[in-house]
Amino acid sequence: MPLVELRNVSKIYHLGGETIRALDDVSLDIDGGEFVSVIGPSGSGKSTLMHILGCLDSPTHGTIKLDERMIHDASPRELAFIRNRKIGFVFQFFNLLPKLTVLQNVELPMVYAGVSGRERRERSMRMLQMVDLDNRSKHRPSQLSGGQQQRVAIARALVNNPKILFADEPTGNLDSHTGEAILELFRELSTQGRTIILVTHDPEIAAVTPRRIEIRDGKVANNLDARLAGLDRQAGSAAAAPALG
């Protein structure tokens, strides 16, 4: 039973007289523990896909099942609950709250989950230790480097122990060296069994993940699984095979 199941999902925007199909009849399965990259050119619909998978947005058509629960027609309240407990987000622009300290930022999802103050502190400090920033807990985000901010964002995303971690261009705003460190962190998390969905337009980054989903004009153009390529589990295009190498 897959962790995420998308069936015929479309997201249609109407702008003036124009109809934009940001997602066009997408069907996908993602299992628990997978490390998946979603790749495609700018404007292809990667972020839209992530927002829908992440319960931030609802599709125009189609059904979504997340952790055995249909969510395409859930109420805003239920969606907030799922985002809080089952999903963690990491964004390109870090999206930390500037007025809160690092520690408070990491605590925030637990505040919404109603976790007691002491437990919040303990768990946040553990998360900050994991990303090696426990000595900066009292600092403001603006006092940290980009890479450090992104590590705080990852700590925040994981603090409620979610099933899935979404990352939209998490290295897009970092130099390549720092970006690599962040990717290394994701890889480590993946080996610990965390499901990670990484959105990027950079093939080099996508090459890191065992599975790649390629989006083009709102459609799934390629769906390659390095682990299962030989077993022909997915109808991957032959052209993509050499890229696995």
Partner 1 sequence: MILINTILIGLKEIWTHKFRSILTMLGIILGVASLVAMAAIVKGMENGMKEALIAMGGLDKVLIEQQKVPVHQNHLRDMAPGRTIRDVYALKESAPLLKVVSPEMALERALVARGPKAYRPSEVVGVWKAVLDMNLYELQHGRFFNELDEESANNVCVIGTGVRDELFGSPQEAGRDIVPLGQEIRINDQPFTIVGMFKHYESEMDRKKREEGLKDPSQQAVGPVRQRGWGGRGWNAFWRKNNMVYIPLNTMWVRFRAATGTNNVPDQTLTDIDVKVASLEMLEPALQQARNVLMVTHQGIEDFNFRTQENQIEDINKRIQNARLSGGIIAGLSLLVGGIGIMNIMLASINERIREIGICKAIGATGVSIFLQILIESVVISILGALLGLAASKGLVVLLSELSPTQNTPVIQTQVMLVAVGFSAAVGIVAGLFPAVKAARLNPIAALRYE
Ligand X SMILES: Nc1ncnc2c1ncn2[C@@H]1O[C@H](COP(=O)(O)OP(=O)(O)OP(=O)(O)O)[C@@H](O)[C@H]1O
Tokens of 99: 């007025």
By CB under 6 A, the count of residues binding ligand X is 13
Q: Which partner in Mg ion, ligand X, partner 1, none is near 180 (CB below 5 to 8 A by kind)?
A: none
46 counts as binding ligand X under rule CB under 6 A: yes
201 counts as binding ligand X under rule CB under 6 A: yes
In the complex, minimum distance from the CB of residue 212 to partner 1, in angstroms, rounded to a whole number:
25
149 counts as binding Mg ion under rule CB under 5 A: no
In the complex, minimum distance from the CB of residue 74 to ligand X, in angstroms, rounded to a whole number:
20
64 counts as binding ligand X under rule CB under 6 A: no
Of the two residues 92 and 178, which places its CB atom closer to ligand X in the complex?
A: 92
Q: Which partner in partner 1, Mg ion, ligand X, none is near 21 (CB below 5 to 8 A by kind)?
A: none
Encoded one letter per residue, x for contact with partner 1 by CB under 8 A and - for no contact, window 92-131 reads ---xxxxx--------xx-xxxx-xx--------------
40 counts as binding ligand X under rule CB under 6 A: yes
203 counts as binding ligand X under rule CB under 6 A: no
Of the two residues 118 and 177, which places its CB atom closer to partner 1 in the complex?
A: 118
Residues 170 and 91 sit within 8 Å (Cβ to Cβ): yes
Residues 241 and 212 sit within 8 Å (Cβ to Cβ): no
Identity (one letter) of the amino acid at 150?
Q
Of the two residues 52 and 102, which places its CB atom closer to ligand X in the complex?
A: 52
- C-alpha distances in Å from residue 25, one per residue of 7, 49, 109, 216, 219: 8, 11, 33, 12, 7
**Rounded Cα distance, 213 and 34, in Å:** 12
* Interacting residues toward ligand X by CB under 6 A: 13, 15, 20, 22, 40, 42-48, 201
